């Protein structure tokens, strides 16, 4: 196949050979055959031979519109020719005499042009068109590379913005918890407050501790947002340690007590006392639990029931499940709901960015766990996720 030259050799030789290969096992033997054939056909410095790995330089293959390898391309000043298919070395030997004749004919024409210039006394200098074209193509390749880098950077910026939006969305839970605790404490110190006598020192200490815990969680999330904004790390960071899931579940349930009371909902728990500890980041897992319980409270009707259960699924994993008796999720959307910004039609008028479940998935995957949902429309949903079992000083 012949065509106009999109890439030219950066030297003064009449033409150059580009041999395109991939990483298949027989590529080394094909390269050896081509090199041997070129050596047999011409002097070492007469024609340049360059080996091109399409995996490392895909833009070159794209410029020549290659559809298969191996392929040998003869590149000259204003045209190129592709030899592909079976035995490329044999095809090279077949075409070589014709290429040499073309060079002789071209050389004769150039000699005539130089003679005419000399006879006319012209001071003009014959411009090396190959060098000019080479520079144009080099600049074209630079533009191609910069466009690829631009695409990569735009993708990174878009991902960073999604991470920041997720974290900002998730700040609401600890801020709400801290606010409730402080408002409750405020009642204890109201002058002549009717309820002041109900605040024992133990209750006040508990409320203060709860407030401090939630403020630390907010501080941690703000740090992550600032990191993502600087572009230093766009991934969810986890600091796994020995974690008692039973205690963490009870902390989350206690936090949602006011919401549960407002909707007259109840939470049923199935948390075995012998449940092994997990190797996980307490703050991040609490974010997952809070998101899932918050959704369960939101979608469970008034006076409905929510369930939280845990089981030692395998010797390596613990499974946590949060169940509601809300409207359920259509089967075709049960995987999509974990995508960033995906929202069911029924939720599009609600506040929020549709980021909660995507954040849960990222946190769980950062712990090498899985998250999924079992649901039937009209029968509620049950979200499950797994975490690694704690293995003492060796971690997970």
Q: Which pLDDT tens digit goes with each residue over 159-189?
A: 667 666 666 666 777 787 778 878 887 877 7
For residue 175, what is the domain's CATH number? 1.10.287
**247 and 306, same domain (yes or no):** yes
- Per the model's pLDDT, the better-predicted residue between 343 and 134 turns out to be 134
**103 and 218, same domain (yes or no):** no
| Cβ partners under 8 Å of residue 267, min gap 6 | 253, 256, 260, 305, 306, 307, 308
* End-of-domain residue from the set 74, 102, 126: 126
For residue 280, what is the domain's CATH number? 3.30.565.10
**260 and 188, same domain (yes or no):** no
**356 and 231, same domain (yes or no):** no
Q: Answer yes or no: is pLDDT of 279 > 80.
A: yes
**288 and 341, same domain (yes or no):** yes
Q: Which domain holds residue 368?
A: 240-396
pLDDT tens digits, residue range 214-265?
Answer: 787 777 667 666 655 555 444 677 889 999 999 999 989 988 888 898 899 9
Q: Answer yes or no: is pLDDT of 318 > 80.
A: yes
**259 and 227, same domain (yes or no):** no
DSSP E strands in 290-392: the ranges are 305-311, 317-323, 371-375, 381-388
**49 and 121, same domain (yes or no):** yes
Mean pLDDT (the chain, rounded): 77
3-state percent helix, strand, coil for the chain, nearest multiple of 5: 50, 15, 35
**264 and 361, same domain (yes or no):** yes
**223 and 291, same domain (yes or no):** no
pLDDT band at 351 (very low <50, low <70, confident <90, very high): very low
* pLDDT above 70 as % of the chain: 71
Count of domains forming the chain:
3
**161 and 105, same domain (yes or no):** no
41-45, 82-86, 322-326 — most confident range? 322-326
For 16, the enclosing helix (H) or strand (E) is strand 16-21
* End-of-domain residue from the set 100, 126, 152: 126
Question: The tokens 């045209």 sit on which residue?
Answer: 79
**90 and 187, same domain (yes or no):** no
| Model pLDDT, residue 124 | 40
């Amino acid at each position: 196949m012949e065509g106009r030259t999109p890439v030219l050799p950066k030297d003064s030789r009449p033409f150059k050979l580009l041999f395109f290969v991939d990483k298949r096992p027989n590529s080394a033997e094909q390269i050896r055959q081509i090199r041997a054939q070129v050596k047999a056909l011409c002097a070492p410095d007469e024609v340049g031979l360059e080996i091109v790995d399409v995996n490392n330089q895909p833009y070159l293959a794209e410029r020549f519109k290659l559809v298969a390898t191996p392929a040998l391309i003869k590149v000259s000043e204003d045209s190129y020719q592709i030899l592909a298919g079976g035995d490329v070395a044999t095809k090279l030997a077949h075409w070589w005499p014709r290429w040499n004749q073309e060079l002789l004919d071209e050389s004769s024409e150039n000699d005539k042009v130089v003679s005419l210039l000399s006879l006319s006394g012209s001071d003009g200098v014959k411009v090396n068109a190959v060098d000019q074209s080479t520079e144009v193509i080099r600049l074209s390749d630079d533009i191609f590379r910069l466009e690829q880098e631009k695409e990569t950077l735009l993708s990174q910026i878009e991902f960073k913005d999604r991470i920041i939006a997720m974290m900002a969305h998730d700040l609401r839970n600890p801020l709400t918890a801290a606010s409730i605790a402080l408002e409750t404490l405020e009642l204890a110190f109201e002058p002549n407050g009717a309820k002041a006598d109900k605040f024992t020192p133990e209750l006040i200490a508990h409320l203060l501790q709860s407030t401090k815990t939630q403020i630390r969680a907010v501080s941690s999330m703000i740090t992550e947002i600032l990191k993502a904004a600087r572009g230093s790390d766009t991934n969810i960071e986890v600091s796994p340690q020995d974690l008692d899931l039973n205690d963490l579940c009870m902390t989350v349930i206690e936090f949602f007590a006011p919401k549960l009371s407002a909707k007259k909902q109840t939470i049923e728990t199935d948390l075995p006392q012998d449940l092994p500890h997990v190797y996980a980041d307490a703050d991040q897992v609490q974010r997952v639990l809070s998101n899932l319980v918050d959704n369960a409270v939101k979608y469970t009707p008034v006076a409905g029931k929510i369930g939280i259960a845990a089981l030692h699924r395998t010797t390596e994993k613990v499974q946590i499940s949060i169940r509601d008796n809300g409207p359920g999720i259509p089967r075709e959307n049960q995987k999509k709901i974990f995508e960033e910004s995906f929202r069911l039609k029924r939720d599009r008028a609600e506040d929020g960015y549709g980021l909660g479940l995507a954040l849960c998935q990222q946190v769980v995957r950062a712990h090498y766990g899985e998250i999924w949902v079992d649901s039937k429309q009209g029968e509620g949903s049950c979200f499950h996720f797994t975490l690694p079992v704690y293995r003492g000083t060796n971690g997970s």
